[in-house]
Amino acid sequence: MQAILAMIRKDLQLFLADRRAVVMGLVAPVAIASFFGSIFSGSPDAERAKIPVAIIDQDRTAVSRGIVEGARGDQYLLVSNPTADEARDAVKKGTLAVAVIIPQGFGDAAGRAFFTGAAKPELNVLYDPSRSTELGLVRGVLTEHIMQSVSAEMFTGDQGRTLVDDTLAAIDAMPMAGQQQAMLRDLLQSARKFYSAPAPAAAAPAAPGATAAAPAPRRGLSMPYAVKEEAVTSGDNVSYNGYAHSFAGMGIQFLLLASIDLGVGILLERQRGLWKRLRSAPISRLSLLAGKAASGSLIALLTLTVSFAFAMIVFGVRIQGSRIGFAAIALATALMASTFGLLVASLGKTPGGTRGIASLSVLLMVMLGGAWVPSFIFPAWLQRLTVVIPARWAVDGFDAMTWRGLGLQAAVLPTLVMLGFAAVFGTLAVARFRWEEA
């Protein structure tokens, strides 16, 4: 035990001896997590970034004008009206996410397709392939405005009236029974009367001297429901704090990067002959690795503690769930990271080469673990695969204990999984460690 404690003390002294490395090891995760947290914090007061969209109206009908006006008023879109060539150029340069060209004849064809099942007109959409997420949002928003504009024109506009007149004139030639033709004629004649009647708002003033009311707005189909959104967090008055997630993700990323230092440090000790001195002492192999794992875990815990302390003080992150669960996950994560460092040392040959390969592994691990971007944007097969990534369990565990506010029970599985990873990494490290020092 004395030897293990001596190794821990020595490794902590070495860690603290390089003040620049200490500062970078603690400041870097805080800085990056703060940046990501500010992006993903989801504050309701934050100004929403609008998607730049160009709409080129080559149709110039009531329908197309309605679409443009609807889009202009939308909270998600920032609409401009360049020419088609300018729009294509802007998309190509990446200054514009999406350009929508409403071709000539669109309004007329859309109206006929709406009621008669005629061929549907095409809406030309130019988009930046690197911003396909924004394309999806624009498509959804435009669908609403197109349906509103087309239906408004068909129910209350000239185009709807013309369609009724044309259909009435063609009823006799339609291949249907006489009784059905009569019923359709009655229906359409009622519709013609509806179109011919003055709009209520455009009627004469109710009393002499009163001001005439403004024409009633054209009304088309609208969304038949309203959405009541409720962010489900740890409590009624607790809002989602994106910094909790980003500090968890970045904390784990830098924990794993620090574990590479642990592994490479062992290789450097071997290169400098220090490991010969350690091995010549009457110490078991298990004690040597346990000492390394313990010091690595302590440094990892220190990194996590500083990161979360900063998040709590500056960004108001709180452990809304179980504090014991949070501590258990932090301990298990630190142990997992330090045993990963031992594995790096056992598999590596040269310090330089090992650092490169290990860094790539860590970056892949944290990326797949959802530390950079939420894992829901991954393909389904990849999401299933991430259960074998320890970083994902760590991030999920910290999320559960912070902003989700879940109890100790929710910490059990992530903790056990992380300890399992630590056991696997540790066993592999012991099995593959090069003990002979020639």
Partner 1 sequence: MLDVRGLRKAYGDLVAVHEISFSLNAGEVVGLLGPNGAGKTTTVSMIAGLVVPDGGQVLIDGSPLAGDTDPKKQRIGLVPQDLALYDELSALSNLQFFGALYRLSPAVLKTAIDRSLTLVGLADRARDRVGTFSGGMKRRLNLAASLLHDPDILLLDEPTVGVDPQSRNAIFSNLETLKAQGKALLYTTHYMEEVERLADRVVIVDHGRVVAADTLDGLQQYAPTGAGRVSLETIFLALTGRTLRD
Cβ-based nearer residue to partner 1, 287 or 361:
287
Distance CA 273, CA 271 (A): 6
How do strand 51-57 and strand 98-102 relate by DSSP bridges?
Answer: parallel
Are 252 and 371 within 8 A, CB to CB?
yes
Q: Are 75 and 137 in contact (CB under 8 A)?
A: no
Contact 345, 266 (CB under 8 A): yes
Region of 3-11, 91-99, 168-176, 252-260 interacting with partner 1 (CB under 8 A):
3-11
Cβ 328 to partner 1, closest distance in Å? 31
Minimum separation from the CB atom of position 23 to partner 1 (A):
16
Six token digits for residue 146: 């197109």
Do residues 71 and 168 touch, judged by C-beta distance below 8 A? no
Site track 332-361 with partner 1 (rule: CB under 8 A), x = hit: ------------------------------
Q: Which of 60, 277, 323, 349 binds partner 1 (CB under 8 A)?
A: 277
In angstroms, give the least distance from the CB of 261 to partner 1: 13
| Nearest-5° Cα angle at 365, 363 to 366 | 70
In the bound state with partner 1, the residue whose beta carbon lies nearer, of 7 and 257, is 7
438 binds partner 1 (CB under 8 A): yes
The phi and psi torsions of 125 (rounded to 5 degrees) equal -120, 120
* Residue with Cβ nearer partner 1 (7 or 79): 7
Contact set for partner 1, span 235-274 (CB under 8 A) = 272-274
436 binds partner 1 (CB under 8 A): yes
Cβ atoms 141, 220 nearer than 8 A: no
Q: Rounded to the nearest 5°, which phi and psi values hold at 388?
A: -95, 10
Nearest approach in angstroms of CB 99 to partner 1 is 59
Residues between 12 and 31 that touch partner 1 (CB under 8 A):
13-14, 17-18
Query: Which residues in 165-184 are b (16+ Cβ under 10 Å) and which e?
Result: eebbeeeeeeeeeeeeeeee
d(CA 426, CA 432): 10
Residue 282 within binding range of partner 1, rule CB under 8 A: yes
Q: Please identify, among the stretches 156-164, 280-288, 394-402, 411-419, the one whose residues bind partner 1 according to the rule CB under 8 A.
A: 280-288
Contact letters for partner 1, residues 72-101 (x by CB under 8 A): ------------------------------
**Binding-site string for partner 1 from residue 198 to residue 217, where x marks contact by CB under 8 A and - marks none:** --------------------
Round to the nearest angstrom and report the end-to-end CA distance of the chain.
27
- Smallest distance, partner 1 to C-beta of residue 2, A: 5
Q: Are 333 and 419 in contact (CB under 8 A)?
A: no
Number of residues that bind partner 1 (CB under 8 A): 27
User: In whole angstroms, what is the distance from residue 19 CA to residue 17 CA?
Assistant: 6
Return the number of the residue (230 or 436) whose C-beta is nearest partner 1: 436
Contacting partner 1 (CB under 8 A), which of 72, 218, 279, 318? Answer: 279
Nearest distance from C-beta of residue 436 to partner 1, angstroms: 5
- Whole-number Å distance between alpha carbons of 222 and 135: 22
281 is a site residue for partner 1 (CB under 8 A): yes
Binding of partner 1 by 283 (CB under 8 A):
yes
For 392-406, give the DSSP string. Answer: HHHHHHHHHHTTT--
H or E element at residue 225: none
Residues that bind partner 1 in the complex, under the rule CB under 8 A? 2-3, 5-7, 9-10, 13-14, 17-18, 272-274, 276-285, 436-438
